[in-house]
Chains A and B, each alone.
Chain A
Amino acid sequence: MTTTETHTAKTVNELDRVVIRFAGDSGDGMQLAGDRFTDATAAFGNDLATLPDYPAEIRAPAGTIAGVSGFQIHFSDHDIMTPGDAPDVLVAMNPAALKSNISDLPVGGTLIVNEDAFTERNLEKVGYVTNPLDDQSLDAYTVFRLQITSMTMRAVEGVDIGKKDAERTKNMFALGLMCWMYGRPVVGTEEWLTTKFAKKPAILDANLKALKAGWNFGETAELFASSYVVRPQAAAPGTYRNISGNTATAYGLIAASKLSGLPLFLGSYPITPASDVLHELSKHKNFGVRTFQAEDEIAAVGAALGAAFGGSLGVTTTSGPGVALKGETISLAVSVELPLLIINVQRGGPSTGLPTKTEQSDLLQALYGRHGESPVPIVAAYSPAHCFTAALEAARIATKYRTPVFLLTDGYLANGTEPWQLPELADLPDLHVAFAEGFNHTKTDGTPDFWPFLRDPETLARPWAIPGTPDLMHRIGGIEKSDGSGNISYDPANHQRMCELRAAKVAGIARDIPPLEVDDPDGDAQLLVLGWGSSWGPIRAAVRRARQGGAKVAQAHFTYLNPFPANTADVVRRYDKVLVPEMNLGQLVKVLRSEFLVDAQGLNKVQGRPFTAAEITEKIQEMV
């Protein structure tokens, strides 16, 4: 809190950053309230990061802990990296939401509860013996007991809708109140509601009334002494929008199609948390996008590979369990050397695991989860907006080197959002691909011939001759091929040569990617914090905090995990200590230790939630 100013009758306090968590039953519309608050915040010009946290069950029994759905947003007047370690404000719509979230609220934090939901029955459902609003258990917090349900019902009185529908608008009341409290305009939400409920005027009316009532309640109730303002961020000049990782991935794929001139073909089977990429791409058929919802994960990747054989940009999107099923087809793509993108939006495993929660535990699967010598390049996105760039990179590598490529994102990146500075189209890479056009070899009798496995000497990529090309008719398949001609070959020496060539081709990509950048301001740090993927945000925030506390610490982050950037060995050997925070039980650390013989240490978390910056800061302080 820096300055105080007055406006209307109430005080307005200026804050540099705030974390709000909306929590309620999965039927209470908390994700929607969070989304609307986020859009208002983005439009206002704050930096922000969000973390939706919802159950796997679509509607778990009402009022239970299993059914609690939460949405956290962190917004600020400066650049931030994470959705926030702990909320400053918790909005709890029922006892279950209170019980499952209160331990995250720091002492002195603001708690807004819907008192109406604290009935004996609801309290009993979650094992509260006494009402926490009445015993002294919440004394450490600033508690606002609001009758959100009844105030909402009064606000929508006279609108011609049923009691259930009326009650469902209470999320708009809560949203209106929070928008007042943090000076977010509601006009965007009003417009959004007007479009959404264009054909349901009564429902629209009720939602607008509830939203307004929430705002007005904040404005007039004696309860709230002040509202807050978080000024827009002084970010780099440019045009911004808010974007989630899954949307950014979809846009990256469309951009890759445009830039390469290859039509986009997506083969996919619905799976959480990847389905939104399928949904998004299905909307954009005017870009020539073909989306194919297959009968299973295997058909999804198979169709994508078939399309790639025909000259499309073949893509499949899935999560870990789906990747397990696609393994055999990915190996085929390695063997026939066709471009293919496999996008794994990682989630908690093994098996069904935590389908709606985030994890980074499929790195070893991407590296090694296939039969035979089967190298596949890996690109990993580090933030929601970075998914766009990462998708372009994955497409560039796949098409240039004629290889399947993994793009790893995760549930946190997929659903989390952040402001994205829109790129200038002219700055995007040229991904143009040339198909083979004519003969590339001469038979001993002098007649010209086409050899589908005669490689480019620099990239080791084979020619991509698509059906329809005259004279270049050829057959490819999973059986080992003779180096050059591509004919079936069981020759022992040839198999070794082909395995080595495929490995060398992937290893050679290290020459074609940027070096690993190290942030070591004074150049005298002894500890390197090294990560990959979505833990970038908390790592960055933790390093910043540790430095503020005087610690000398260097930081680097992998976007490319196979091959590693060419300078990786130099970087990791330069530091006495290397700390690798990952949302798994130590996968990157295992690879670093085996590849580079360094004594890297892991910091591991598999709780379905991203690291908090505090968790990493603590480890850094312990190690420096």
Chain B
Amino acid sequence: MSITAAGTDTGTEAVALTKRDFTSDQEVRWCPGCGDYAILAAVQAVIPEFERKPQDVVFVSGIGCSSRFPYYMNTYGFHTIHGRAPAIATGLAVSRPDLDVWVVTGDGDALSIGGNHLIHALRRNVDMTILMFNNQIYGLTKGQYSPTSEAGKVTKSTPFGSVDHPFNPVSVALGAEATFVARTLDVDRPHLTEVLRRAHAHRGTSFVEIYQNCNIFNDNAFLTITSKDTKEDYQIRLKHGEPIRFGPEGSRGVRMGSGGNCEIVSVDDVGVDALLVHDEYADSPGLAFALSRLAHGPSSPTPIGIFREVSRPTYGAGITEQIEQATVAKGEGDLEALLRSADTWTIA
């Protein structure tokens, strides 16, 4: 049994869709200057390229500033409860493989209250695209530290500094054996757009960490890697099949060091051949994980780009296949036969 939506298609397929088709009539209510605006604009701009009609696209979110995102998209949308968006989206994606399902979440929503759902969605490889806006702070509750805040962070709930060890979201996703893992930046529109394209094209769960500036409660958290003056020294831009280099004229690079850890070296000292060549498609997540460990926050050289993209059957496809096989083997379900499937007796 499959679901067919009712209604008549008014023929939007004839005309190419634009950003406008995906923009809802709701007033956007994030704080002025919030990084979320840039991400929303990038998504609205790139999504028409994907040639899915607005009615076939669904944005599911949890709770937090980022989770208001669905209200601003002229698609179907479900603003759910704190941390549970990946679980709710799983039910939708598995039961409606015809839809294009997106999850928008934040660092607190995805990694704190919803950590369990995130890792299980990733290991199952449910076909959906998860955008995790990481601002390293709780914004909507007005400024408590988050599971990605740096140790020692002074906030309203940690006046003497946080004693929590933070999560590295990319490491978490790779540890859960996610099939697509990337990191990008709210302020780098071309990079963000390209990562969105790749994430959307991937079959299975795509996990995208987006460094996003909260200008109210954690302003300039990513300044070191985003500012014009320093970004060359702090962004390690990953490119498949190329030696991993960064810095002025590619003067610095990454090589495999001792104990399975990556290390940053001077290219002049070690030579280009000693550098690690980035392989997005490596079967094992080991190398990608080692790369993710290079930076424990945006204050040291930080890899951005696509860490991993591998192919694995999606969870929904597996379920659909079992239904198809069972239907071939047993025939379409017959209720009468089911009710009579045990010994019966008849009283005249």
Q: Is the CB of A311 within 8 A of B3?
A: yes
Flag whether B120 is at the interface (Cβ < 8 A): yes
Q: How near does chain A come to B160, taking the closest CB pair, in angstroms?
A: 32
B96 contact set on A, CB distance < 8 A: 307, 310-311, 467-468
Q: Which of B81-89, B144-152, B266-274, B287-295 contacts A (4 or more CB under 8 A)?
A: B81-89
B332 contact set on A, CB distance < 8 A: 286-287
Q: Is the CB of B326 within 8 A of A43?
A: no
Q: Which of A4-12, A101-109, A288-296 contacts B (4 or more CB under 8 A)?
A: A288-296
Flag whether B76 is at the interface (Cβ < 8 A): yes
Q: Is the CB of B60 within 8 A of A286?
A: no
Q: How near does chain B come to A426, taking the closest CB pair, in angstroms?
A: 10
Per a CB cutoff under 8 Å, which of B99, B120, B327, B347 touches A299?
A: B120
Flag whether A235 is at the interface (Cβ < 8 A): yes
A475 contact set on B, CB distance < 8 A: 24, 26, 70-71, 73, 76-79
Q: Is the CB of A469 within 8 A of B92?
A: no
Cα(A184)–Cα(B338), bound, Å: 26
Cα(A299)–Cα(B117), bound, Å: 7
Flag whether A608 is at the interface (Cβ < 8 A): no
B56 contact set on A, CB distance < 8 A: 467-468
Known contacts A310-B92, A310-B99; is A42 also within 8 Å of B345 by CB? yes
Q: Is the CB of B1 within 8 A of A242?
A: no
Closest to B73 in A: A475
Q: Is the CB of B94 within 8 A of A307?
A: yes
Cα(A299)–Cα(B119), bound, Å: 12
Cα(A298)–Cα(B332), bound, Å: 31
B55 contact set on A, CB distance < 8 A: 467-473
Known contacts A237-B347, A467-B56; is A303 also within 8 Å of B1 by CB? no
Count contacts on B: residues with CB < 8 A to the other chain: 71
Q: Is the CB of A241 within 8 A of B91?
A: no
B84 contact set on A, CB distance < 8 A: 298-299, 302, 328-329
Cα(A243)–Cα(B345), bound, Å: 13
A217-242 Cβ-contact flags toward B at 8 Å (1 or 0): 00000000000000000111111111
Q: How near does chain B come to A500, taking the closest CB pair, in angstroms?
A: 23
A467-492 Cβ-contact flags toward B at 8 Å (1 or 0): 11111111111110000000110000
Flag whether A422 is at the interface (Cβ < 8 A): yes
Q: Is the CB of B342 within 8 A of A242?
A: yes
Cα(A262)–Cα(B57), bound, Å: 21
Q: Is the CB of A42 within 8 A of B343?
A: yes
Q: Is the CB of B333 within 8 A of A470?
A: no
Cα(A312)–Cα(B339), bound, Å: 22
Q: Is the CB of A292 within 8 A of B9?
A: no
Per a CB cutoff under 8 Å, which of A251, A287, A470 touches B53?
A: A470
B79 contact set on A, CB distance < 8 A: 475-479
B319 contact set on A, CB distance < 8 A: 290, 292
A294 contact set on B, CB distance < 8 A: 87, 120
List which A296-318 residues lie within 8 A (CB) of chain B.
Answer: 296, 298-299, 302-312, 314
B257 contact set on A, CB distance < 8 A: none
Closest to A302 in B: B87
B10 contact set on A, CB distance < 8 A: 470-471
Cα(A239)–Cα(B341), bound, Å: 12
Known contacts A311-B3, A435-B6, A468-B96; is A251 also within 8 Å of B338 by CB? yes
A476 contact set on B, CB distance < 8 A: 77-79
B194 contact set on A, CB distance < 8 A: none
Q: Is the CB of A235 within 8 A of B347?
A: yes
Q: Is the CB of A285 within 8 A of B322?
A: yes
Give the one of B60, B327, B338 with max A CB within 10 A: B338
List which B296-348 residues lie within 8 A (CB) of chain A.
Answer: 319, 322-323, 325-327, 329-333, 335-336, 338-340, 342-348
Cα(A286)–Cα(B56), bound, Å: 26
Known contacts A287-B333, A332-B81; is A487 also within 8 Å of B347 by CB? no
Cα(A211)–Cα(B235), bound, Å: 76
Q: How near does chain A come to B3, taking the closest CB pair, in angstroms?
A: 4
Q: Is the CB of B333 within 8 A of A474?
A: no
Q: How near does chain B come to A344, taking the closest CB pair, in angstroms?
A: 19
Q: How near does chain B come to A194, taking the closest CB pair, in angstroms?
A: 15
List which B47-78 residues lie within 8 A (CB) of chain A.
Answer: 53-58, 60, 63, 70-71, 73-78
Cα(A258)–Cα(B7), bound, Å: 22
A255-291 Cβ-contact flags toward B at 8 Å (1 or 0): 1011001110101000000000000000011111110
Flag whether B116 is at the interface (Cβ < 8 A): yes
Q: Is the CB of B343 within 8 A of A188?
A: yes
Q: Is the CB of A286 within 8 A of B333?
A: yes
Known contacts A309-B78, A311-B5, A478-B81; is A239 also within 8 Å of B340 by CB? yes
Q: Is the CB of B80 within 8 A of A470?
A: no
Cα(A437)–Cα(B348), bound, Å: 48
Flag whether A39 is at the interface (Cβ < 8 A): yes
B94 contact set on A, CB distance < 8 A: 265, 290, 292, 303, 307
Cα(A284)–Cα(B323), bound, Å: 9
Flag whether B258 is at the interface (Cβ < 8 A): no
Q: How near does chain A come to B335, taking the closest CB pair, in angstroms?
A: 5
Cα(A501)–Cα(B344), bound, Å: 47
Flag whether B141 is at the interface (Cβ < 8 A): no
Flag whether A60 is at the interface (Cβ < 8 A): no
Give the one of A308, A438, A471, A473 with max B CB within 10 A: A473
A129 contact set on B, CB distance < 8 A: none
Q: Is the CB of B87 within 8 A of A298?
A: yes
Known contacts A284-B333, A310-B92; is A470 also within 8 Å of B81 by CB? no
Flag whether A254 is at the interface (Cβ < 8 A): yes
Closest to B123 in A: A295
Q: How near does chain B come to A409, taking the closest CB pair, in angstroms?
A: 18
Known: A285-B325, A307-B96, A311-B5. 19 other contacts (CB 8 A): A238-B346, A239-B340, A241-B345, A257-B1, A288-B333, A290-B319, A302-B90, A310-B96, A310-B99, A312-B95, A314-B91, A329-B84, A438-B7, A468-B3, A468-B5, A472-B7, A473-B77, A475-B78, A476-B77
Which A-B residue pairs are the 10 nearest by beta carbons? Answer: A477-B79, A306-B91, A303-B91, A287-B333, A468-B5, A288-B1, A475-B77, A302-B87, A299-B87, A285-B326
